[in-house]
């Protein structure tokens, strides 16, 4: 009987933790939309460029870094600069990744 109670308690904890994570993620996405696609677009990167680059496997990590970034005001100001925006900003946690994506690609002959 005690083992069943422990298993039930553990299952409840797992469900509660999962629910809290889902709710937090939903709230975080609503209050802090990912700016990564906007920044990539501003740098002239297309989905094709990102998907078929040699560093495409890191895209989910880059998007998560964007979601937890603490430089949202700086990012919004940079995005608001429009076409006059300089290259990848140093405050961005994805600066290195965006530099890799933004480098000139070899074109087939």
The whole-number pLDDT of residue 92 equals 92
Report the alpha-carbon distance of residue 16 to residue 19 in Å, rounded: 5
The whole-number pLDDT of residue 39 equals 84
The whole-number pLDDT of residue 93 equals 92
Q: Low-confidence residues of the chain, pLDDT below 50?
A: 106-109
The whole-number pLDDT of residue 109 equals 40
Distance, C-alpha 103 to centroid of its chain: 20
The whole-number pLDDT of residue 107 equals 43
Tell me how far CA of residue 83 lies from CA of 13, 41, 43, in angstroms: 49, 11, 9
């Amino acid at each position: 009987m005690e083992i069943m109670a422990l298993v039930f308690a553990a299952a409840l904890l797992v469900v509660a933790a999962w629910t809290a994570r889902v709710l937090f993620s939903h709230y975080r996405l609503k209050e802090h939309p990912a700016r990564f696609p906007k920044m990539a677009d501003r740098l002239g990167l297309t989905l094709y460029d990102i998907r078929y680059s040699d560093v495409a496997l890191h895209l989910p990590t880059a998007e998560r870094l964007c979601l937890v970034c603490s430089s949202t005001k700086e990012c919004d100001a940079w995005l608001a600069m429009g076409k006059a925006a300089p290259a990848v900003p140093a405050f961005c946690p994805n600066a290195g990744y965006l530099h890799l994506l933004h480098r000139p690609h070899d074109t087939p002959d």
